[in-house]
């Protein structure tokens, strides 16, 4: 069975600080990897995804993530955060092939950006 671990449940940063949120997964096969963001009171939105190829993927709003296969990690980064980045961030894993199986989510990281 797949599992996803997000290292930090709560992160507080000041504006302009750099961000890195950790995500590790456990799965024996090849996977698709995702980061979703949930702004207060809203539904989940896709930030970025990795299926194959270049392990450094760029997403919306200046976010990027790096897939390190040897470490089973997919950490999310942003060089300079803004107050509007305050949200909950979820890492998720799915099996390759785009089949019916759902995603396995981490428990989320609540990010607060202080002005």
Helix (H, G, I), strand (E, B) or coil at 113: strand
**Cβ nearer to other proteins, comparing 5 with 13:** 5
Query: Binding to other proteins (CB under 8 A): which residues in 29-68?
Result: 32, 34, 36, 42-46, 49, 51
- The whole-angstrom separation of Cα 43 and Cα 57 is 23
As measured in angstroms, the least distance from the Cβ of 108 to other proteins is: 5
**Count of residues that bind other proteins according to CB under 8 A:** 28
Q: What are phi and psi of 60, to 5 degrees?
A: -80, 160
CA distances from 43 to 2, 12, 17, 88 (A): 23, 22, 26, 10
Query: Binding to other proteins (CB under 8 A): which residues in 70-109?
Result: 90, 92, 94, 96-108
As measured in angstroms, the least distance from the Cβ of 23 to other proteins is: 11
As measured in angstroms, the least distance from the Cβ of 95 to other proteins is: 10
Number of neighbours of residue 4 by Cβ within 10 angstroms: 23
With residues binned 3-state (H G I as helix, E B as strand, rest as coil), the percentages for the chain, rounded to 5, are: 10, 55, 40
As measured in angstroms, the least distance from the Cβ of 51 to other proteins is: 7
Interface residue list for other proteins (CB under 8 A)? 4, 9, 32, 34, 36, 42-46, 49, 51, 90, 92, 94, 96-108
């Amino acid at each position: 069975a797949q599992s996803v671990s997000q290292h930090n449940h709560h992160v507080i940063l000041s504006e302009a600080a750099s961000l890195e949120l950790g995500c590790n997964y456990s799965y024996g096969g090849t996977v698709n990897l995702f980061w979703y963001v949930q702004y207060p009171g809203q539904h989940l939105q896709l930030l970025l995804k990795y299926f194959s190829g270049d392990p450094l993927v760029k997403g919306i709003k200046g976010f990027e993530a790096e897939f390190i296969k040897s470490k089973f990690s997919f950490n999310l980064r942003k060089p300079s955060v803004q107050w509007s980045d305050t949200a909950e961030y979820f890492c998720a894993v799915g099996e390759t092939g785009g089949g019916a199986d759902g995603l396995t989510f981490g428990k989320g990281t609540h990010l607060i950006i202080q002005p």
